[in-house]
Amino acid sequence: MTSSFANFKIDVHTHPVPEFYREALVDAGYSARNLSDVFVDGFRTPNFDIKSYVDERVEHGYGFSVLSITAPGVSFLHGSYRAEELARQLNQEMQSYRKAYPDQIGAFCILPLPDIQSSLEEIKYCLDELKFEGVGLYTNYDGVYLGDAQLDPILEELDRRGCPVLVHPTNPQRAPTLTGVSLPVIEYPFDTTRAITNLLWID
């Protein structure tokens, strides 16, 4: 007999974009024609509605989805108190989706890095209180790549917990502009390579 889990699919690459997050991006200077047309690194941020997403997810055959916040996350706030506040707001928003659809939606929490202490507190809040499925990280934070000693307290805590981690690419601090090519087309794969290399070449 074929197991009922044989066709169970888990989506781990869906990014909610709440309106308050778009507003924060616009306030930070990201290109926007209006609140529905906000562009990050050449890509238009998609409209997102949790009910519509759940309906479409079922149509595409996914049994469960784990949401995460796409690049740039809250990195554009550079670890300020606003980054801490926005990360908490985004995590609470994803928790509201989990509560509305507990058997269908999970989440990887977002951290206000490069603020280490606030990020450790957010890990505790999201994993111990909200019971999130894991943590989302980016390939670099203000040019500090995964594998750098500055981020050791975060990786050590996640390792101690045996916590699942989703690593999402983002842009490097400096990248050449190519006409007609948005930065993520080239730089996201390259930045993934940079992060992996940095992790492998740890002293």
> How many structural domains is the chain composed of?
1
- For residue 170, tell me if it sits in a domain: yes
- For residue 5, tell me if it sits in a domain: no
- pLDDT value at residue 4: 54
Residues written for the chain:
203
- For residue 1, tell me if it sits in a domain: no
pTM of the model: 0.92
Work out the pLDDT band at 5, boundaries 50, 70, 90: low
- pLDDT value at residue 202: 65
Average of per-residue pLDDT values in the chain: 91
* pLDDT exceeds cutoff 80 at 171: yes
* 17-44: average pLDDT: 90
Taking only the tens place, the pLDDT of each residue in 106-115 is 999 999 999 9
- pLDDT value at residue 141: 96
* pLDDT exceeds cutoff 70 at 18: yes
- pLDDT value at residue 1: 39
Range of the domain at 170: 10-200
- For residue 142, tell me if it sits in a domain: yes
